[in-house]
Structure 1
Amino acid sequence: MKNTLRHLFQPILRIFESGDDQFRYDKSHRKILLAVGVLFLFLSAISAVLAINSAQLGGLVPVLAFFLIGFVCIVVGTLGSDKAVAKIWGNK
């Protein structure tokens, strides 16, 4: 199942797994990345509720931005390699 999901999200993972540079990875980085992803998805949901209540289309821009950031964090945190997690944090 994991290999199928990795193949499905390969365009996202390829961005963070490319290159041959050195990286520094700690197990806590993956846990924190997943927590940040959940927080961004939660923030996206709150923004969506507020945008719907205010009936303004401009409120969907933050919803989309927060959702995409949270989604990428969750995908890299669950399916990405150690290098991808380190690269998203910028550890070299």
Structure 2
Amino acid sequence: MATLKDHARTLCAPLLAPLERGDEPFHYAPKSRLILVIMCALFLTIAIGLAVLLPSGSDPFFLLPVAVFGLIGLAGLLIAWLGSDRAVSRLWNSRQG
């Protein structure tokens, strides 16, 4: 029986596959995932804050920072939730020795 996480991993495979590929040694610290969640929550907070404080009727170009911060926050949270230890380590670019 497939779980929600299995379905989500299948859906996010294009995002996760490049990060989980390879067999080189990596260094994974247990707090890496927690720090990733905190940083991505901060990115999402910035995106929401920018969207709320954006004056109505302003140029649509001002939505670009909202989109960038929001996408970075969502991608990081998906990697933190669905990714393996290798994916999180590769996101931080942590290599062994």
User: Considering only CA atoms, is the larger Rg found in Structure 1 or Structure 2?
Assistant: 2
> Do they fold alike, i.e. is TM over 0.5?
yes
Which TM-score applies when normalising by structure 1? 0.92
Instruction: Decide which of 74, 85, 88 is 1:85's aligned counterpart.
Output: 88
Between the two proteins, the alignment pairs up a number of residues equal to: 92
Deviation at 1:70, TM superposition (A): 0.3
Give the percent of matched residue pairs that are identical in Structure 1 and Structure 2: 36
Residue of structure 2 equivalent to 1:69: 72
| Mapped partners of 2:55, 2:77: distance in 1 | 25
Q: Please tell me the root mean square deviation across aligned C-alpha atoms, in Å.
A: 1.3
Q: When you count helix as a share of all residues, which structure comes out higher?
A: 1
Q: Give the Cα–Cα distance (whole angstroms) in 2 for the partners of residues 56 and 15 of structure 1.
A: 36
8 Å contact from structure 1 (residues 51, 57) kept in 2? no
TM score, norm. by length of structure 2: 0.88
Gaps of 5+ in 1: none
Q: Deviations over 1:10-65 (max 9, x none)?
A: 11111211222211001100000011111111111111123344622121110110
Could you tell which deviates more after superposition, 2-11 or 53-62?
53-62
